[in-house]
Amino acid sequence: MKITPFTIARNLSLGVFASLWCFAAQAQEVVEVFLLSNQSVVGTANTVYVVDALHNATERLSVDLPNTPAEAKKIAEARLKALTAQDKEVLKQASTSVIRAAEYKIVKVPAIVFDGKGVIYGIADIEQARVMYRSWRARGGS
């Protein structure tokens, strides 16, 4: 094969393209964050799950219920019937948060899950957690 300025430029271009493609593929990680309602994280995630949202919602629905079961049931049923579409969506998202955390066996928060494969606990900065995740993957983590 004859080496010319064209073949060198083409090979360099292919190398740069391959590097950029690998970088872009690496940047496509799916990031899921699990936290409590009084916590926050820095950075962007695909999904944020507030794992105590269902507990908080049921606490609000239970406020001032009487001690007698029959009366409490009547009031609770009325409150549930009075839920707006927005209230129901909040409950749905809250339930999804609890289910998703159970699926991943999340044991503490904040927790940042990458690609459904790696969990970083106790870090509130997504980019810092991403560096740790990528390091783990580079060492053969699956």
Q: Where are the alpha helices (DSSP H) in 27-125?
A: 53-62, 69-81, 85-104
Task: Please report which confidence band the pLDDT of residue 22 belongs to, taking 50, 70 and 90 as the band edges.
Answer: very low
How much is the pTM? 0.74
Q: How far apart are CA 45 and CA 89, in angstroms?
A: 20
DSSP 29: -
pLDDT, average across residues 87-92: 92
The number of helix segments (H) and strand segments (E) in the chain equals: 5, 4
Task: Please report which confidence band the pLDDT of residue 99 belongs to, taking 50, 70 and 90 as the band edges.
Answer: very high
Q: How far apart are CA 34 and CA 69, in angstroms?
A: 35
- Phi and psi at 127, nearest 5°, equal -65, -40
pLDDT of residue 61: 87
- Phi and psi at 112, nearest 5°, equal -120, 120
- Is the Cβ–Cβ distance between 112 and 32 less than 8 Å? yes
Cis status, amide bond into 66, omega within 30 of 0: no
Is residue 45 over pLDDT 70? yes
pLDDT of residue 119: 96
- Is the Cβ–Cβ distance between 45 and 111 less than 8 Å? no
pLDDT of residue 2: 52
